[in-house]
Amino acid sequence: MKLVLSLYPTYGCVADKNKLLLIVDTQKERIEFIDLNIADTNDIMCLKGMCYSGQYLMMGAKTNTNTDRLVVIDVVTGKMSSSLLIKSKDIHTMISVYRGRVYCASTGTNSINSLVLSPSTNNLIKDTFHYKFESDLHINSICNWNRRWYVSYFGEGWRDNNFENGAIVELTKNNRKVYSNIKQPNSVFFNRNDEMCFCESIRGLFHFGRSIAHVGGYVRGVIEDQVRNGYWIASSALRDVLAKETVLYFLNYDGIIEQKIDLHTYTHEVYDIVEAKGCLDMLL
């Protein structure tokens, strides 16, 4: 399986600002940066949430300015483009609803936003608020399952390092809490058995159905591998730890780690993982 990882590059390892996306061949354990062949990369610090919508890989780009960008790769033609985001900021997760349209967790505005691409140019033509939270919750992950929306957040007080009251809520049930009092939840999704899975990031835990596995580090970014029967999980370096170890693990359905791929020379922080498709699958 070949994976695409959005990341924050390791300081000093990247001479070219275009190298903010990583491809990993998990079978051969080969790793390379994907060059972003777009002009507007000087202000981009990292890529965060991403998803496929039709033939497009769409990614939220965090910048050091007041506005962030949407980066799009057409995986059929290989063409890349970049658009300024209007209302979305610091996108942590993206979910496709149909071709050219996605919903995103706009963490910087504490909202779920709707993004629409032009079918002819791949450029962003609409960026609107879909649902905005009144409290300062640091929403970071959204999931649509059986027409139900689920959102994870750190909880009020997170700016003061109070991470005890994180939660996952179901928006279609008046924000009913599915999980509460969890620490920094991320990467919510449902597996092939329709079981909720998520990371309790700062504790290094991965919840899958009724099971919990201790992975270690700061876990965020998960993709299910149904062929191999397990999950690929990124474990990033904790920000207060000097040894910046960042690892991609394969965890089988029994919660046992079967493979470890070292990433620390490329990145100290992984945000999201998708499977390589189209022209990206032909790399490595």
Mean pLDDT of 12-36: 81
pLDDT (tens digit per residue) in 187-226 = 999 999 999 999 999 999 999 999 999 999 999 999 999 9
CATH number, domain containing residue 203: 2.120.10.80
Q: How many other β-carbons are positioned within 10 Å of the β-carbon of residue 159?
A: 9
The reported pLDDT for the residue numbered 164 is 87
Contact status, residue 85 vs residue 124, Cβ threshold 8 Å: yes
Please give the residue range of the domain that contains residue 50: 2-280
The position carrying tokens 């790399």 is: 283
> CA gyration radius for the chain?
18
**What is the pTM for the complete model shown?**
0.93
> CA-to-CA distance for 257 and 217, rounded, in angstroms?
14
User: Is residue 131 pLDDT above 60, yes or no?
Assistant: yes
Please state the φ and ψ torsions of residue 163, each to the nearest 5 degrees. -110, 20
Q: Give the number of domains in the chain.
A: 1
